């Protein structure tokens, strides 16, 4: 290949295994790519070039991704000796002394971390525009958001800096940037991947870790390499039927797929996002699936929204208080962005009974919806990923006198993604559609609890029917 950027991670690892290229050469190529396009995008905010060079010069584990360059999101997951800023002034000097379990598994898989990627402050809004590091720009249109909170990772993968990068998803934070940047993003089942040794769960299981990739098989193989509970984990996902990479090589069969463009909340859906779903319905029908339109009426919608906000705001407050204990400082308004501080104050005001009632309500919703799936024999649910194309940068900023303006505007942008963070089900954003302006519009597929296998098999079928990996954004790293 004249351009290594056109290969996925497994493709690069195959070159290493055949000794056609060395891990050190792959690292140097990734560094060159980052230096070529990162100034235009601001996706990588902590270079780890010397660490990666040293690791590549040593004994790189012979895992499925031996020698492949990788990027780590600067949130939740710790790499020993490298700042974990969470894009927050309050924690900008935090340097972990040990690796998270997930990082250990990345290293055992043979990945070489070449840097850390940008994220919004504490990962709260669905755009990546922190004051600490500055905004990340979408490689398809640098005036627009790459999404969030894994926006730096998504922009880097789409722009061919690396073939895949780490992400996390607490309300859509893998799927949102995957949609905005035209790549593949899978949120696994709750408990599938470890958060230890420092964290049991985040916001009662809303947050899940995995990755942004260009190919489906990379996502599957990485899940094979990293899945499984760690010591003391509060949850464990059901065991898979077979390796996930094997699932991508098996036809999914005829699936019963229900679809809708009706959001859970009364917001307007952009015609481009509706068109993307209709386009996917047509493709799925052509592939032989049983595709039926079905809107879900969720009882107690107002209480559901209140419950999610209570848990989200309460989780924000708990996170900041935990950070304050860690850094031995008292949080002040000057340490945080206006929306984060307003969320902190909101969370501090949530009474404990209301918080616990919110958790109970969300758990009840999860049971109700999954029983509905069981009774209707639904294999997969198809929805828009987002209600709008990628927003112009600055759209979700706090407003004078209204620091939560961006939070409530975010609810209009992402009404479809938070539900499966509540239920714990796996979900993916698949890049099947681009609008007339050349912006990617993802479509979201939700699977049964514990059933990433069906999603990955379907995703591989869709990828084969409508390949997307060859689409290159205007800002994209090129060969030497």
Asked if residues 479 and 7 have their Cβ atoms less than 8 Å apart, the reply is no
Order of all β-strands in the sheet with 112-117: 44-47, 112-117, 69-73, 164-169, 208-213, 184-187, 427-434, 440-447, 380-384, 256-259, 290-293
173 is catalytic: yes
Active site residue: 86, 87, 149, 219, which one? 149
CA distances to 10, 143, 346, 350, 449 from 318, in Å: 39, 34, 11, 11, 28
Q: Which of 61, 246, 156 is nearest to 166 (CA)?
A: 156
Place of tokens 């590091």: 133
Asked if residues 198 and 76 have their Cβ atoms less than 8 Å apart, the reply is no
Active site residue: 87, 173, 215, 457, which one? 173
Q: What are the CB-based long-range contacts (under 8 Å, 24+) for 95-101?
A: 98/197, 100/76, 100/194, 100/195, 100/196, 100/197, 100/198, 101/194, 101/195, 101/196, 101/197, 101/230
73 is catalytic: yes
CB atoms within 10 A of CB 318: 16
Q: Which of 178, 261, 109, 138 is nearest to 427 (CA)?
A: 178
Q: Residue 430 is inside which H or E element, if any?
A: strand 427-434
Rg of the chain over Cα atoms, rounded to whole angstroms, equals 21
Tell how strand 440-447 and strand 380-384 pair up. antiparallel
215 is catalytic: no
Active site residue: 73, 107, 116, 187, which one? 73
Place of tokens 């939740």: 76
Catalytic residue set: 73, 149, 173
């Amino acid at each position: 290949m004249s351009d290594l950027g056109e290969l996925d991670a497994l493709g690069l690892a195959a070159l290493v295994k055949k000794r056609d290229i060395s891990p050190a050469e792959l690292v140097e190529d990734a560094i060159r790519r980052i230096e070529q396009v990162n100034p235009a995008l601001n996706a990588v905010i902590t270079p780890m070039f010397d660490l990666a060079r040293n690791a590549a010069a040593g004994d790189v584990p012979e895992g499925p991704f031996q020698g492949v360059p990788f990027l780590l999101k600067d949130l939740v997951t710790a790499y020993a000796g490298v700042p974990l800023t969470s894009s927050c002034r309050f924690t900008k000097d935090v340097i972990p002394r040990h690796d998270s379990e997930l990082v250990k598994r990345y290293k055992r898989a043979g990945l070489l971390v070449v840097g850390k990627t940008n994220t919004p402050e504490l990962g709260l809004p669905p755009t990546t525009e922190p004051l600490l590091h500055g905004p990340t720009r979408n490689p398809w249109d640098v005036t627009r958001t790459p999404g969030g909170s894994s926006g730096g990772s998504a922009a880097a993968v789409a722009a061919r800096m690396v073939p895949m990068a780490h992400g996390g998803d607490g309300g859509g934070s893998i799927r949102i940037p995957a949609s905005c940047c035209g790549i593949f993003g899978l949120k696994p089942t709750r408990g599938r991947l470890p958060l230890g040794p420092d964290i049991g769960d985040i916001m009662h299981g809303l947050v899940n870790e995995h990755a942004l990739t260009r190919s489906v098989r990379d996502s599957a193989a990485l899940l094979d390499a990293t899945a499984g509970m760690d010591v003391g984990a509060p949850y464990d996902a059901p065991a898979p039927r077979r390796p996930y990479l094997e699932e991508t090589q098996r036809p999914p069969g005829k699936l019963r797929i229900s679809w809708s463009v009706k959001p859970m909340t009364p917001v307007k859906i952009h015609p481009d996002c509706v068109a993307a779903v209709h386009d996917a319905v047509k493709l799925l029908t052509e592939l032989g699936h049983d595709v039926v339109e079905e809107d879900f009426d969720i009882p107690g919608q107002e209480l559901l929204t209140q419950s999610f906000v209570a848990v989200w705001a309460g989780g924000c407050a708990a996170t900041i208080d935990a950070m304050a204990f860690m850094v031995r400082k008292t949080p002040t308004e000057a340490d945080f962005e206006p929306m984060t501080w307003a969320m902190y104050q909101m969370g501090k005001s949530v009474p404990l009974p209301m918080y616990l009632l919110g958790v109970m309500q969300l758990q009840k919703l999860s049971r109700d919806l999954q029983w509905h799936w069981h009774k209707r024999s639904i294999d997969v649910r198809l929805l828009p990923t987002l209600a709008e194309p990628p927003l112009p940068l600055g759209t979700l900023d706090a407003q004078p006198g209204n620091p939560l303006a961006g939070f409530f505007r975010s609810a209009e942008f992402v009404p479809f993604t938070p539900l499966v963070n509540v239920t714990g089900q796996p979900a993916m954003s698949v890049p099947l559609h681009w609008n007339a302006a050349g912006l990617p519009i993802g479509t979201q597929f939700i699977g049964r609890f514990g059933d990433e296998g069906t999603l990955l098999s379907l995703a591989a079928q869709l990828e084969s029917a409508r390949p997307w990996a060859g689409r290159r954004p205007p800002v994209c790293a090129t060969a030497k």
